[in-house]
Amino acid sequence: MSPNRETLTSAGLLLLRVGLGGLMLVHGIPKVQGFSAMSAAFPDPIGLGSQLSLILAIGAEVGCSLLLIAGFATRLATIPLAFTMFVALFLVHGSDPWKVKELAAVYLLGYVSLFLTGPGCFSLDHCCWNKPKPPAA
């Protein structure tokens, strides 16, 4: 890939990471703020209990979104996010009309795409794990 194309691809991945992460924080932060009120009645689609389900949703929506924005442990961070959106799409909103579950599908597609592509060059992952390539002879 040419340097210009690699830069553009990485810029697109940065935009996708920051956009998805920031937008998901809008869903996660109110869960943190309303934890006490929500913990008893939060949906429990996989039988872990309402409180634990809420804690796991917060961990994904807040913790993993922050990792995604920073581009740190990106592929790992997309797994709980994608799982949360899979559960929302097929279990929590499974019988709802498409209009209700469409957002979960869009997030799921974004997270799976980031899992497959990785974070790009503008990420902490790239800074921490990619060793500079020796100059070509």
Residue 134 lies in a domain: no
Number of independent structural domains in the chain: 1
d(CA 93, CA 87): 8
Return the pLDDT at 137: 56
Range of the domain at 16: 3-129
- Per the CB < 8 A criterion, the answer to whether 21 and 61 are in contact is no
Reading the chain (137 residues) residue by residue, the pLDDT tens digits are 666 998 999 999 999 999 999 999 999 999 999 999 999 999 999 999 999 999 999 999 999 999 999 999 999 999 999 999 999 999 999 999 999 999 999 999 999 999 999 999 999 999 888 866 666 65
Domain assignment present for residue 80? The answer is yes
pLDDT at 1: 60
What distance in Å separates the CA atoms of residue 78 and residue 21, rounded to the nearest whole number?
Answer: 10
- The reply to whether 136 falls in a domain is no
Dig out the tokens for 8 from the structure.
Answer: 């553009």
| Residue 137 placed within a domain | no
Phi, psi (rounded to 5 degrees) for 73: 55, 45
